[in-house]
Amino acid sequence: MADPGTVVVRVEHPVPDYETWKREGFDRDPLGRGRSGVHRHRVLRRGDAPSLVAVELEFANRAAAESFATALHDMWDGVRDRFEWHDGLPEAQIFELTDVHEY
């Protein structure tokens, strides 16, 4: 479980084919999540729109999260056409976790 103080980079974007995106994009880990400071990730799909994915990446500090968000943007710029992002690139939003409780 994440601790308060964890910094989360959250991204939502459409993918034309989830299985292809997951296998050829996300699972290949082109930016090296582990060595970049990611200590946990979550991939979510929207139930009523399964081509919309959200990815949450957890970091121990803001500097690592900001650096990774910049690297994501640079990478997305290079694959814009491949993933059909004609209306603009995804946005990496940075959040600070302030409260966690399990039920």
Residue 89 CA to residue 60 CA, distance in Å, equals 26
* DSSP-derived pairing of the beta strands 49-59 and 38-46: antiparallel
Task: Give pLDDT tens digits for 8-28.
Answer: 999 998 888 899 889 988 999
Q: Which two tokens stand for residue 22?
A: 């997951």
Q: Where are the domains of the chain?
A: 7-96
| C-alpha triplet 53, 2, 33: angle, nearest 5° | 55
Task: Give pLDDT tens digits for 38-94.
Answer: 999 999 998 898 889 999 999 999 999 999 999 999 988 887 777 677 777 889 999
- Give φ, ψ of 7 to 5 degrees: -105, 135
Give the architecture-level CATH label for domain 7-96: 2-Layer Sandwich (3.30)
pTM: 0.88
